[in-house]
Amino acid sequence: MSLQLLSIAMLVGVFVIATFLNVHMGALAFVATFVVGFGMAGMSEKEILSGFPAGLFVILVGVTFLFAIAKVNGTIDWLVDGAVSLVHGRVWAFPWIMFLIAAGLAGIGAVPPAAVAIIAPTAMRIAQRYQISPLLMGLMVANGVSAGEFSPIGLFGIIVNDIAVENGVQSSPVLLFLSCFVVNAVLCYILFVVITTRARRRAVSDVADSDGGSGGAATRPTGGQLVAERTAVEAPVRPAMTRQIAVTLAGLAAMVGIVMFTDLDIGFVAMTLAVVLSMLTPAVAKEALPRIAWPSVFLIVGIVTYVNLLQELGTVTYVSDAVAHLDSPLVIALLICVIGAVVSAFASTTGILGALVPLAVPFLLAGEVNAVAMLIALSLASSIVDASPFSTTGALIVANAAEEDRDRVMGQLLRWGLAMIVAAPVLAWGIFVLPGW
């Protein structure tokens, strides 16, 4: 068996052992990296550790530390109360507002981690306070970013269109953007309907059980059920502005401005601001430090380190080359989309688009499938899976979920990511490639 196949088998083993023996997946992934890299590939420790996602680590720690401080000193509650007052207490509107804000930020050029880091903390706090499904809120943010990033000035749109132009492949920036936006919006609408319908049924069941058990008057359901009923809650009175809140708001505004208009890393920017706030309020920082999502960070960087090793060993290229030798153009197109979805769920979507689109160029130039339709399908297949907890977007959503919800959100996003690895490429291929537009 080749080294590439052994490395894939080892990844499957990590998931199986973690699932059935309840061993921490991050630790298993680091061990698998050592066994495959050092024991099988003969790599040095330095070469193995070169795949450690230092940038992702800094982003997760920096952003969650900064917003933990903002939570402890009352800034997040101040922002949430303000957001409620803006929509006049209509809880059902929050997920859609977060979708549009995320799409807007991504559409005007914010890189995906920055867009998610800006909006996810407030979105997840709103979900916690008003008992909106954290899964729904997180997916609204993730899919909002995916909807906006393929605009002509969005990061993903620039990558796909530039690579296509440089290699003489036909592209349509406007059609790419509109297709990705519409598909993500429709997906979010389906999620909204399904999750809120389940909440309504659960509320009716709970009320029935309450009536049967106590014989008393049924109480009005709240939170997630309010989303389903599209009713409103009374907007709370926003707490008074304090010096700590004012300084923290200024820091958050500075972070947004710096990320939007410079190339500075969001993780280092957030960490710097967190340290500045720590020096101003040491007691708050001390309380906030344990709230960094350390178990989630450990798990995510472990898996990503191993996936980076797979890329270094040429496993992705090995699979892509095997696919390219098939005879059926439609099957090749589907498998390219599947590869994009699988790798993107565990690694950088930016990286996989930058790597897989060039690999697909010879196939696209052959003219056996519509190049524009194929680029759209590949873009969707590679981005819809971004809510996987092992990608930067999903990791930030998990890290910003309420502590008591974090494990549940991790499991839900993992199941969602695995489902989308199968569903996203098939649907994208079936809608855009199979009809032969």
Give the tens place of pLDDT for each residue, 174-193.
Answer: 999 999 999 999 999 999 99
- Most confidently modeled range among 40-49, 239-248, 357-366: 40-49
CB count, 10 Å around CB of 352? 25
Q: Is the pLDDT of residue 111 over 80?
A: no
Q: How many residues does the chain have?
A: 437
Residue 24 covered by a domain: yes
State the pLDDT confidence band at 158, using cuts at 50, 70 and 90.
confident
Q: What are phi and psi of 232, to 5 degrees?
A: -120, 155
Q: What is the pLDDT of residue 384?
A: 93
Residue 94 has pLDDT above 80, yes or no: yes
- The answer on pLDDT for 230 being more than 50 is no
The residue with greater pLDDT, 436 or 296, is: 436
Contacts of residue 46, Cβ cutoff 8 Å, sequence gap at least 6:
none
What integer best gives the mean pLDDT of the chain? 84
Where do the H-state alpha helices sit in 108-242? 112-129, 134-148, 155-166, 173-214, 224-229
Predicted local distance difference test score (pLDDT) of residue 216: 47
Structural domain contains residue 233: no
- Kindly state the percentage of the chain with pLDDT values over 90: 32
Range from 163-167, 268-272, 296-300 carrying the lowest mean pLDDT? 296-300
Average pLDDT over residues 30-58: 91
Packing angle, helices 54-72 and 243-261, rounded to 10: 150
In a domain, 223, yes or no: no
Residue 146: inside a domain: yes
Stretch 289-313: mean pLDDT: 82
pLDDT of 224 above 80 = no
pLDDT, mean of residues 417-435:
94
Report the pLDDT value the prediction gives residue 367, as an integer from 0 to 100.
Answer: 81
Distance, CA of 34 to CA of 24 (rounded, Å): 16
> Is residue 219's pLDDT more than 50?
no
Mean pLDDT of 103-120: 81
Average pLDDT over residues 132-148: 94
Measure Cα distances from 272 to 71, 133, 170, 204, 306 in Å: 17, 32, 43, 48, 29
Task: DSSP for 1-61, please give it.
Answer: --HHHHHHHHHHHHHHHHHHH---HHHHHHHHHHIIIIIIS---HHHHHTTS-HHHHHHHH
C-alpha pair distances (Å), 92 with each of 11, 87, 125, 129, 194:
40, 10, 15, 13, 14
Is 134 part of a structural domain of the chain?
A: yes
Q: In the structure, what pLDDT confidence band is assigned to residue 217 with cuts at 50, 70 and 90?
A: very low
Per-residue confidence (pLDDT) for residue 208, from 0 to 100: 65
Mean pLDDT of 408-425: 92
- Cα(395)–Cα(417) distance, integer angstroms: 12
Least confident of 95-99, 193-197, 200-204, 417-421: 200-204
**Alpha carbons 212 and 405: distance in angstroms, whole number:** 29
Query: What confidence score (pLDDT) does residue 242 get?
Result: 86
- Pick the range with the lowest mean pLDDT from 64-68, 125-129, 228-232, 336-340: 228-232
- Domains of the chain: total: 1
First to last CA, the chain: 40
Is there a domain that residue 215 lies in? Answer: no
The answer to whether residues 265 and 55 touch, using CB atoms and an 8 Å cutoff, is yes
How does residue 255 score in pLDDT terms, banded at 50, 70 and 90? confident
Q: Containing domain of residue 161, as a range?
A: 1-203+238-431
pLDDT for the residue numbered 53: 86
Of the two residues 260 and 211, the one the predictor is more confident about is: 260
Specify if 220 maps to a domain.
Answer: no
Q: Is residue 229 part of a domain?
A: no
Handedness of CA 74, 391, 140, 143 (dihedral sign): positive
In tens, the pLDDT along 205-215 reads 766 666 655 54
Helix (H, G, I), strand (E, B) or coil at 258: helix
Question: Among 124, 119, 68, 80, which residue's Cα sits nearest to residue 278?
Answer: 68
Residue 147 has pLDDT above 80, yes or no: yes
pLDDT digits (tens, 9 = 90+) for 357-394: 877 777 888 788 899 999 999 999 999 998 988 888 89
Mean pLDDT, residues 8-33: 86
Asked which of 81-90, 102-111, 241-250 is least confident by mean pLDDT, the reply is 81-90
pLDDT at 38: 93
Give the Cα separation of 374 and 391 in Å (integer). Answer: 23
